[in-house]
């Protein structure tokens, strides 16, 4: 009889509150400036969030794709989001 152990990777997402901005660098890209003025560069910005000035709360993790031609903000991958009124 075989006994197996299942190991789960615990993922701790960060919560970011801020507003959506469009940066006109090169071809341009969408970013988020946090309420703490930190700059975040989503690698998977949903179309629903691509609105200048939109206030959002997102759950994200740092992206494995940190290299970018834009040299702006920290790369993140959005896991969930909520639009804040």
Please write the tens of the pLDDT for every residue from 16-53.
999 999 999 888 999 999 999 999 999 999 999 999 99
- Whole-number Å distance between alpha carbons of 34 and 74: 11
Q: Which pTM does this prediction carry?
A: 0.80
* Domains of the chain by residue range: 14-83
Residue 23 tokens read as: 């940066």
Instruction: Decide if pLDDT at 64 tops 80.
Output: no
Instruction: Decide if pLDDT at 10 tops 70.
Output: no
Burial status of residue 27 (CB atoms within 10 A of its CB: 0-12, 13-18, 19 or more): exposed
CATH number at 14-83: 2.40.50
């Amino acid at each position: 009889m075989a006994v197996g152990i299942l190991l789960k990777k615990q993922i701790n997402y960060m919560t970011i509150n801020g507003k959506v901005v469009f940066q006109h660098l090169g071809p341009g890209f969408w970013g988020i400036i946090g309420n703490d003025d930190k700059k975040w560069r989503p690698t998977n910005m949903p179309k629903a969030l691509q609105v200048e000035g939109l206030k959002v709360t997102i759950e994200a993790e740092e992206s494995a794709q940190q290299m970018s031609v834009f040299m702006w903000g920290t790369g993140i991958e959005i896991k969930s989001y909520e639009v804040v009124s």
